[in-house]
Structure 1
Amino acid sequence: MPTAERKSKQAPTLSHDRIAADIAAFRKAGGKVEVLGNTPIQRRVTPASGAAVTPAVAAPAAATRARR
């Protein structure tokens, strides 16, 4: 009887083989797989070149209070 360790090591191989067989059958039937690229997430949005940029409005000096 296989141990839990051995069983867990075989499971990914069986899944990989099954997926590979399914993709091969799909392609043989005329299907095409579109492979997408990596899309990095932009944390800072930059304006397109030539776009008008509106600067941020500074707070009036009178509205700012000094800390004591």
Structure 2
Amino acid sequence: MLRQENALKNRKEAEEAKKRYKEKRLYRFKKLNQKTPKGQPLMRGKIELMLEALQQASDS
């Protein structure tokens, strides 16, 4: 019984971690994939991601 509960708990945690990872990846992709009307990449998305990374690093 205990073994089954642990397996279920581990599976649920793995699914949640996978979901968080996919959401984070999609967020990054959307930020980095933005283009100008002429097709050039927007730097705003890259700068926002760098700023977020710096803020997280300074909080830690």
Common fold by TM > 0.5 = no
Give the alignment's TM-score, normalised by structure 1.
0.39
Structure number with bigger Rg: 1
More helix by share: 2
User: Taking CA–CA contacts closer than 8 Å with sequence separation of 6 or more, which of the two structures ends up with the larger relative contact order?
Assistant: 2
